[in-house]
Amino acid sequence: MTAPDPELGHERADAAAETATVAELGEDAVLARILPRLRPGDAAILGAGDDAALVHAADGRFVVTTDLMVHGPDFRLAWSTPFELGWKAAATNLTDVAAMGARPTALVVAIAAPPSTDVSVLEGIADGLREGLAALAPGAGVVGGDLSASPVLTLAVTAFGDLAGRSPVLRSGARAGDVVAHAGVRGDAARGLALLFAEATDATGEPDAALADDLRSRHPELVRAQLAPAPPVAAGVVAALAGATAMLDVSDGLARDARRIAEASGVGIDFDGGALGPDARIALAGAEDHGLLATFPPDTSVPEPFMTIGLVTAASGVLSVDGRPIDTLGWDPYSGWDGRTG
């Protein structure tokens, strides 16, 4: 997988050569600053500039997904640079497309920002979107979107993908005897988040930008895994071509998302404790890695970059590690991540 350049886009908004708020410039001028920083991608027949974009759908169908990032519950401006926000907004949507076995083709991005927001923040987000797409889904681009005002900075991204004539890989196709495999890191984003909460907050518990920058220098890979993940987007098509029977994006934790496959397919999943590594709990509970969890028929050679981590069982809805049932761990946006503190 491709990681973001730690130097690219790291400068914060106050270091921009020309600063102005979005209220001072107005929508048209803000768009004139943002759109040149983005690319429409190979699938665009007509990109941004009209009321809607026109995107090529090779076989007459397309995969579509959407995701929302809100300042506070989803990111903190004191921790994330604008570039990292744009990169993560791309990455989190691209993996949902990949989990269907599709190739990402285009994004539509809507941003709502407080009027006092410096336009360089939006430019940094655009740069992160562009570079995230170039690294994780070459050929895909931003074909349009919207700007609005809000008390809280919010990003809404809709992503499209091309199945190239194949059937989508669903959550409901796993069968007893299938091999369970995973591509990507496990638990690194959660470790990075735990570090940010432990070492990048001030005396009052508020996120601190200077402490976050210091943490980046000491633990770059873990902080980057949380703030600008580099998931194995291309592995989605690889899995589909190899005959994956079920697949999904691991955004809420390996255990929670594995249960979704188990319940949709009417099967159980038994993880190999040795394959999960020395800290199995954080591997199972840690959210936001955005790896891909897939099942493959037992006679299929599991393709790279997937690693076998368990088997599908006939015990409907039951998750276990080495045969011992486990609880569902992971992130729920309304109750929080129950594995965050350890």
Q: Mind listing the pLDDT tens digit for each residue in 100-147?
A: 999 999 999 999 999 999 999 999 999 999 999 999 999 999 999 999
Give the pLDDT score at 338. Answer: 42
Q: What is the pLDDT of residues 63-102, one digit of tens each?
A: 999 999 999 989 999 999 999 999 999 999 999 999 999 9
Q: Which tokens go with 139?
A: 């050929």
> Which residue positions form the known binding site for ATP?
145-146, 171, 251
What architecture is domain 13-162?
2-Layer Sandwich (3.30)
* Residues that constitute the known binding site: 51, 65-67, 74, 96, 145-146, 171, 249, 251-252, 288, 331
The Cα–Cα gap between 271 and 311 comes to 7
In angstroms, the CA 171 to CA 266 distance is: 10
Token pair in block for residue 273: 């404790």
Residues in the chain: 342
- Contacts for 126 with CB less than 8 Å, ≥ 6 apart: 34, 35, 37, 38, 86, 142
> If DSSP codes are grouped into helix, strand and coil, which group holds residue 273?
helix
Look up residue 73 and give its DSSP letter: T
Residue 119 Cα distances to 21, 38, 94, 124, 308, angstroms: 5, 15, 26, 9, 46
Residues 6+ apart with CB under 8 A from 341: 194
Give the burial string for 98-107 (b: 16+ CB within 10 Å, else e).
bbbbbbbbbb
Q: Which CATH architecture has domain 171-191+228-337?
A: Alpha-Beta Complex (3.90)
Distance of alpha carbon 235 from alpha carbon 139, whole angstroms: 16
* Sign of the CA dihedral with 228 first, then 234, 238, and 241 last: positive
Annotated binding site for Mg(2+): 51, 65-67, 96, 146, 249, 252
Question: What does the H/E/C string look like for 96-131?
Answer: HHHCCCCEEEEEEEEEEECCCCEHHHHHHHHHHHHH
Phi, psi of 258 (to 5 degrees): -65, -35
Q: For the segment 158-214, what is each residue's pLDDT rounded down to a tens digit?
A: 999 999 999 999 999 999 999 999 999 999 999 999 999 999 999 999 999 999 999
Provide the pLDDT for residue 335: 56
CA 202 to CA 108: how far, in whole Å? Answer: 36
- Position 326 pLDDT exceeds 50: yes
State the pTM of this model.
0.88
Domain ranges of the chain: 13-162, 171-191+228-337
Choose between 224 and 7: higher pLDDT: 224
Residue 45 has pLDDT above 90, yes or no: no
For position 9, what pLDDT does the model report? 57
Place of tokens 């005897």: 177
Asked whether the domain spanning 171-191+228-337 has the same topology as the one spanning 13-162, the reply is no
- Distance (Å, rounded) from C-alpha 340 to C-alpha 342? 6
Report the pLDDT value the prediction gives residue 47, as an integer from 0 to 100. 77
Q: At what angle do helices 82-98 and 119-136 cross, to 10 degrees?
A: 40
Q: What is the pLDDT of residue 14?
A: 42
**In terms of DSSP bridges, do strands 154-162 and 268-271 run parallel, antiparallel, or are they unpaired?**
unpaired
Contacts of 279 by beta carbon, 8 Å cutoff, 6+ apart: 187
Write down the pLDDT at residue 331. Answer: 58
Closest CA to 39 of 158, 142, 122: 142
Task: Provide mean pLDDT across the span 46-75.
Answer: 85
Percent pLDDT > 70 in the chain is: 89
Asked whether 4 and 129 are in contact (CB, 8 A), the reply is no
Q: Nearest-CA neighbor of 100 among 179, 41, 40, 172?
A: 172
Predicted local distance difference test score (pLDDT) of residue 340: 39
Residue 17 has a pLDDT of: 44
What's the pLDDT score for residue 290?
96
> Average pLDDT, stretch 254-279?
95
Q: What is the CB neighbour count within 10 angstroms for residue 127?
A: 20
Of 252 and 10, more confident? 252
In the prediction, which pLDDT does 339 show? 38
Closest alpha carbon to 139 in 156, 164, 121: 164
Which residue numbers belong to the known binding site for substrate?
74, 288, 331
- What pLDDT does 50 receive? 66
Whole-number pLDDT of residue 258: 95
pLDDT > 80? residue 245: yes
> Region 254-273: what's the mean pLDDT?
95
- Cβ neighbours of residue 9 closer than 8 Å, sequence gap 6 or more: 81, 82, 83, 84, 86, 87, 124, 127, 128, 131
